[in-house]
């Protein structure tokens, strides 16, 4: 993972800034997409569950700093979701062009569900409502839309141009 850190850290910081500064202006259906979640899933898909989970935790924590929901909630949801996707990645039989969108949607549903469930358990009553579920469904759909772009960016940033002898990570 140490070879990835110099790329993952700037990527994570940029994602958080884009998430809190740019995407609130680009709402679709009135919601902001979980770009960090989709990116964490993309990282997990490419580099496995452990790297994905740590990246998801870091990006989610960065996002949490700007939210009124309990600190650590997005971090937990992103990390768990990335770990899940990283774990099932090897079992995928088909890898078509639709895969990023599918994983973005899946991440939105699983990560969003985790966010709402843990948030409600932590006492955030506004997350235990049907309206919150509807919002999260829209977020998942928007996540599916931005997923191909997020996967492309992650692939671009994390592309393997290291010498062959270092590719053990």
Partner 1 sequence: MSVSGRDRRRRYSLALIVLTCITLITLDRRADDRGPLGVVGRVAHRIVSPISAAVDSVFDPVGEWLAGVFDGGELRRQNEALRAEVAELQGQIRESDRALAENEEFRKFFGLVWLGDIPTVGATVVADAPPGNFEKTVELNRGSEAGIKVGYAVIVPNGLAGRVVEAWQGGSKVLLITDPTFGVSVRLQDQRIRGPAEGQPGSSTLKLNLSSADLSREQQESIVVGDPVDTCGCDDSEYPPGVPVGSVVRKEQQTSGIALIVRVRPYLDVASLEHVVVLLWEPGDPVPPPPSTTLPSIPSTASTATTARGEPTATVPQGGGVGSGEA
Of residues 6-25, those binding partner 1 (CB under 8 A): 17, 19-22, 24-25
β-pair partners for 31: 28
Least distance to partner 1, CB of residue 88, Å: 13
* Residue in this structure with the two tokens 């509807």, named with its chain if needed: 134
β-pair partners for 28: 31
Least distance to partner 1, CB of residue 145, Å: 11
* Residue in this structure with the two tokens 């993309």, named with its chain if needed: 42
Cα-atom radius of gyration of the chain, to the nearest Å?
15
Q: Decide: 55 and 158 in contact? Cβ < 8 Å.
A: no
Helix (H, G, I), strand (E, B) or coil at 28: strand
50 binds partner 1 (CB under 8 A): yes
Least distance to partner 1, CB of residue 94, Å: 25
70 binds partner 1 (CB under 8 A): yes
Residue 15 CA neighbour count, 13 Å, CB half: 33
Among 59, 127, 141, 154, binds partner 1 (CB under 8 A): 127
Identify each DSSP E strand in the chain by its residue range: none
Q: Which stretch binds partner 1 (CB under 8 A): 39-47, 100-108, 134-142, 154-162?
A: 134-142
111 binds partner 1 (CB under 8 A): no
Q: Which is nearer to partner 1, 26 or 92 (CB)?
A: 26
Helix (H, G, I), strand (E, B) or coil at 128: coil
54 binds partner 1 (CB under 8 A): yes
126 binds partner 1 (CB under 8 A): yes
71 binds partner 1 (CB under 8 A): yes
Query: Cα(107)–Cα(114) distance, rounded to whole angstroms?
Result: 10
Q: How many CB atoms lie within 10 A of CB 8?
A: 22
Residues that bind partner 1 (CB under 8 A): 17, 19-22, 24-32, 48-50, 53-54, 57, 61-73, 75-76, 79-80, 83, 118, 122-132, 135-136, 139
């Amino acid at each position: 993972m140490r070879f990835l850190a110099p790329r993952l850290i700037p990527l994570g910081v940029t994602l958080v800034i884009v998430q809190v500064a740019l995407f609130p202006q680009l709402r679709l259906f009135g919601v902001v997409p979980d770009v960090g979640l989709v990116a964490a899933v993309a990282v997990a898909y490419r580099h496995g569950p452990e790297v994905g989970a740590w990246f998801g935790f870091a990006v989610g924590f960065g996002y949490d700093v700007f939210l009124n929901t309990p600190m650590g909630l997005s971090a937990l949801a992103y990390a768990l979701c990335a770990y899940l996707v990283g774990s099932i990645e090897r079992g995928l039989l088909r890898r078509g062009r639709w895969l990023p969108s599918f994983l973005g949607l899946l991440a939105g549903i699983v990560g969003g569900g985790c966010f709402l469930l843990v948030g409600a358990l932590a006492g955030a009553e506004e997350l235990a409502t049907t309206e919150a579920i509807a919002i999260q469904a829209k977020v998942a759909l928007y996540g599916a839309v931005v997923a191909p772009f997020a996967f492309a960016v992650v692939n671009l940033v994390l592309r393997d141009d290291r010498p062959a002898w270092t590719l053990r990570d």
